[in-house]
A = this chain, B = another copy of it.
């Protein structure tokens, strides 16, 4: 019945327009009563985005199931991919909805509030993981926003292509940019290591010294854009 209501709603939205379609029209076409509609959907907006609540719940559960072994930035990128999977499950429906949302300001506002809830879910998780970092809340909010923006940039580009092309590859590429900016520290923590500058390549530990870990040396011209340097560090760290 839920699927029948969504199908009826979209048929009418496309035929008559969103604003011109009432809940009564939808239930009449689906052959059910108004109460059935409101059992599934609190409002007409909600029938346009029938799967976001489930996806938000999935994302929250996914993040709650994370452990200390998961690198936090990578983990929120993986959480964002759940949204992509929802869209990619049904490309033609997603493309129809994208076109509809672009035309109806009320739906655009609804979508912004949904996006905000995803972003808060990611930020809350990161705040927990960063709670002992100075400025951890700030970093959590910024990284969550960057992940959502990258995901949505890729998602919109896929939707604009009418759902053609490889959605996953597009999103992976976008999220890799965020990871290159905010990094993904490897499992070995180095809580007090602050790289000296200028510094020399590491040498074997002298007796009585702590053994040195591998070092990475990046040489760049001063004028090189920072993102290129970061990309290079990523490659060096094997973080692709």
Which residues of A line the B interface, CB within 8 A?
Answer: 108-109, 112-113, 116, 135, 137-139, 141-142, 144-146, 148-150, 152-154, 173-174, 177-178, 181-190, 193-202, 212-230, 232-237, 239
Contact = CB atoms under 8 A, between A and B. Distances in A.
B195 A229 contact: yes
A157 to B, nearest CB: 8
Number of this chain's copies in the complex: 2
B190 A232 contact: no
Contacts of A144: 149
Given A112-B112, A139-B177, A199-B218, 7 more contacts: A138-B177, A139-B227, A189-B223, A190-B221, A195-B219, A197-B219, A199-B217
28 contacts: A112-B116, A135-B177, A141-B150, A141-B153, A142-B177, A142-B178, A142-B181, A146-B149, A183-B225, A183-B229, A184-B226, A185-B225, A185-B226, A186-B222, A188-B222, A193-B228, A197-B216, A197-B232, A197-B235, A199-B217, A199-B219, A200-B219, A202-B219, A214-B221, A217-B218, A226-B233, A226-B239, A229-B233
Given A230-B183, A233-B229, A150 B146 contact: no
Nearest to A189: B223
Contacts of A145: 145-146, 148-149
Nearest to A222: B214
A193 B138 CA distance: 32
Nearest to A225: B185
A237 to B, nearest CB: 7
